Amino acid sequence: MIALTDISGKEFYLNCELIYRIDRSFDTIITLTDGKKLRVIEKESEIVEKVILFKRKIHNGFLEGEQ
């Protein structure tokens, strides 16, 4: 799961396996596989980087003491 911030400033965690697409308008809009849309303040590139880092941790294993 990755940490994101909605447009009201509230942090939440998203299962990145549910991301269908990411679009940019005034905000970043994440469309989930079920069609639900989320507006977040992070840029598309930030979200992609968070997903890559998360998947690396899953595939390579977490280092001791790392969350």
Beta carbons within 10 angstroms of residue 2's beta carbon = 18
Write down the domain spans for the chain.
Answer: 2-60
Look at residue 58 in the predicted model and tell me its pLDDT.
Answer: 87
- Please, are residues 38 and 5 in contact by the beta-carbon 8 Å criterion? no
Look at residue 60 in the predicted model and tell me its pLDDT.
Answer: 83
Q: What is the pTM of this model?
A: 0.84
Rounded Cα–Cα distance for residues 40 and 10 (Å)? 9
Cα 60 off chain centre by: 19
**Which residues of the chain fall short of a pLDDT of 50?**
none
Task: Name the 3-class secondary structure at 49.
Answer: helix
Closest CA to 51 of 12, 3, 15, 16: 16
